[in-house]
Amino acid sequence: MIGRRPRMFEVDDIIRVGRSLGMRRLSMNAVAAELGVSSTALYRAVDGRWGLERLVGESLLGDLKLHDDPDHDIEQHLLSFGLQMWHFIVRHPGLGVYMQTLFPRGEAGRLLMAHQIEALSKRGYSPDVAIALSSVIAGVSINYAVAEDSQREHAEELDAQREKITEQLKTDEDLAEAHRDLPSVEHTQFVRLVLAAMVRGVVSVAPPGRPLDEVMAELAAIGMGV
């Protein structure tokens, strides 16, 4: 008996299926099932889970085209950079965890870093300080996106728990008054405010032209006082 001919597939097929599944649902078994092949066949095409994540994650990151407004000063630029990162990652569930785990893993990630070095170099920063500043802002943006992604997975349960906690705060003798006076801020605006505060803080300690060793020394001195 002659066996059936194995189903043929290309790397582009793996990427297409992986993007369709999304980073949160991505797995060797899921991609193999969608392609109609065995996991063994897929392992022959990619370097395991890490290779699969890199293929799909870098494909997604390749869609992120950072806009650099030449009229923006350093604070405006870093805030825009952080918000662009946050919005993009929120639209691609699971991508934030990919970036948190190890970055950059491939060409798309390296291009994003190169873009930021160029943008900050135009504003008076050396490459090492540019990477340090960008990493801080990107890290905050990614963390907020990952947290939002996680909350969306459990939205219904979280809403119920949030209502309970809110009611408890209203009757807490120490926190009720402070909680009552807090303004209502929409989530996107809250992220913007946090990033704006972070940007102002890092720029104050790392203005254009300041060497990285001086920045690190000042931060270390602050840390020693705590």
HEC letters along 45-68: HCCHHHHHHHHHHHHHHCCCCCCC
The angle at the Cα of 68, spanning 195 to 62, to the nearest 5 degrees, equals: 90
pLDDT tens series, the chain, 226 aa = 344 555 788 999 999 999 999 999 999 999 999 999 999 999 999 999 999 999 999 999 999 999 999 999 999 999 999 999 999 999 999 999 999 998 999 999 999 999 999 999 999 999 999 999 999 999 999 999 999 888 876 766 767 777 788 778 778 877 877 777 777 788 889 999 999 999 999 999 999 999 999 999 999 998 877 6
CA distance 117 to 137: 13
Backbone angles phi, psi at 148, to 5 degrees: -65, -40
The angle at the Cα of 158, spanning 155 to 160, to the nearest 5 degrees, equals: 115
